Amino acid sequence: MKKVVCGMLMLISFAFICVEVFAGPRRRWVGEGWKRRMEKEQNKRDAEQYYAEGVALMQQKRYEEAAEKFEIATDIKKDYYDAYYMFGKVLFILEYYEDAIERFTKASNLNKKVPEPHIGLGDCYIQLKKWNDAVGAYRKALAMNENLYEARTGLGIALHNKKDFAQAVEELKKAVKLSPKPISAYYWLGLSYAETKCWKDAVDALRKVLSLDSKFEEVRLIIARIYEKSAQYKDAIEEYKRFESRNSLYTPFALKRIAEVYESFLVDIPNAIIYYEKYLKKTSDLKVSERVKRLKAGEPVEPIKDEEEPTIAPNPELFPGGKAPESSEDENKKEEKKEGEGGVKPPELPGSPSGGAEK
């Protein structure tokens, strides 16, 4: 009997030891570890859900709502590269460029092997006129993949605005080979060639733009201007005359410019008067009306000042991200501006002074 009792006591003691040694630690791991792991998995699912909702809202062009979703996703999951990158993209669309830079920078730090955040940074810096920063960002993207059309074109645009026209030409010549429809690259290549006085190359590049998409009619005005700068006045007139029968916003400008070329360079006063009068049928201009009267009367007139010539704003599609930076005048007139937002004057006609370039 005594042996039975001793045996039972030993079994009970062994059971307690097993509970203390094995059951205790296992209980703590199942309780606390499981809870932490499940919370982490739940947060991950929540972040991915918010991210998916943000992408869907972007596709619907509901950008403010999309930004909120991406913000929540990045708050839940601090290392969520995709959410930070898309957050940067939507902030760029909403023109919060400084905020977009923060998100693109975070994305680039989270994934150092992809070029897309650096392209986003370059696009933001162009909007802010930070040409050197834009050059640096695009070069980082190209160091990862040298065949990126957006990065190569953006680099060329930034170099052009830095007035490094020769280097811009070299980069844009590479860019036109990287896309089946390199409209932006050909456009800026044409402008850069014009600034280096490679007139024929400039015209050829700009005609490529028109051959790819004829809607960029402002390019014809730039081609005409290039003909003027290279003293090919009759070719300039023929290019301007393409607007004569069109209902275009540029038609009055073209008609006036034909008259001025006839008057100033070809000294053909009768044709100058004809085109001044055509111009006056399109718009009211007291100075030109008085000029026509004096020309008809054979009286002396003031020389035409080239600096009075207006600039031609390119289509926004010709800029990175499909957004044209605001001109300085528009920036001053806008009542509510986002902190840190910048602008740049529309490109001047080739040969005219260009403004706003970072030194």
HSE on the CB side for 100, CA within 13 Å? 27
| CA angle (344 as vertex; 165, 348 as ends), nearest 5 | 55
Sequence-distant contacts of 2-6: CB under 8 A, at least 24 apart: none
Asked whether residue 68 is domain-assigned, the answer is yes
Cα 275 from Cα 353, distance rounded (Å):
27
Secondary element (H or E) of residue 105: helix 97-110
Cα 276 from Cα 263, distance rounded (Å):
10
Domain count, the chain: 1
What is the residue whose two structure tokens read 């809870």?
35
Burial (Cβ within 10 Å: 0-12, 13-18, ≥19) of residue 162: middle
Cα 123 from Cα 230, distance rounded (Å):
33
Q: What is the CATH number of the domain that holds 48?
A: 1.25.40.10
* Buried/exposed 239-267: b ≥16 CB within 10 Å, e otherwise: bbebbeeeebebbbbbbbbbbbbbbeeee
143 token code pair: 């160091």
Of the candidates 196, 198, 194, 197, the one whose C-alpha atom is nearest the C-alpha of residue 219 is 194
Indicate the length of the chain as a whole number: 359
Asked whether residue 90 is domain-assigned, the answer is yes
Of the candidates 127, 108, 109, the one whose C-alpha atom is nearest the C-alpha of residue 117 is 108
Beta bridge partners of 326: 343
In angstroms, what CA-CA distances link 157 with 58, 79, 101, 122, 209? 27, 32, 19, 10, 16
* Full domain range(s) for residue 71: 38-113
Residue 16 phi, psi dihedral angles, 5° rounding: -60, -40
What is the residue whose two structure tokens read 């070029």?
115
Asked whether residue 55 is domain-assigned, the answer is yes
In angstroms, what CA-CA distances link 225 with 26, 230, 240? 82, 9, 9
Q: Classify 278 as helix, strand or coil.
A: helix
**What is the largest distance, in Å, between two alpha-carbon atoms of the chain?**
144
Cα 304 from Cα 263, distance rounded (Å):
9
Asked whether residue 57 is domain-assigned, the answer is yes
pLDDT in tens, 196-237: 999 999 999 999 999 999 888 889 999 999 999 999 999 999
Other CB atoms within 10 Å distance of the CB of residue 79: 12
Q: Identify the DSSP state of 136.
A: H
Asked whether residue 10 is domain-assigned, the answer is no
Asked whether residue 58 is domain-assigned, the answer is yes
Asked whether residue 316 is domain-assigned, the answer is no
Per-residue pLDDT 10s for the chain (359 aa) are: 555 545 555 655 555 445 444 444 433 344 444 455 556 666 767 999 999 999 999 999 999 999 999 999 999 999 999 999 999 999 999 999 999 999 999 999 999 999 999 999 999 999 999 999 999 999 999 999 999 999 999 999 999 999 999 999 999 999 999 999 999 999 999 999 999 999 999 999 999 999 999 888 889 999 999 999 999 999 999 999 999 988 888 999 999 999 999 999 999 999 999 999 999 999 999 999 999 999 999 999 998 876 445 556 667 777 787 777 776 555 444 444 443 333 333 344 443 333 333 43
Burial (Cβ within 10 Å: 0-12, 13-18, ≥19) of residue 304: middle
Cα 82 from Cα 84, distance rounded (Å):
6
Asked whether residue 103 is domain-assigned, the answer is yes
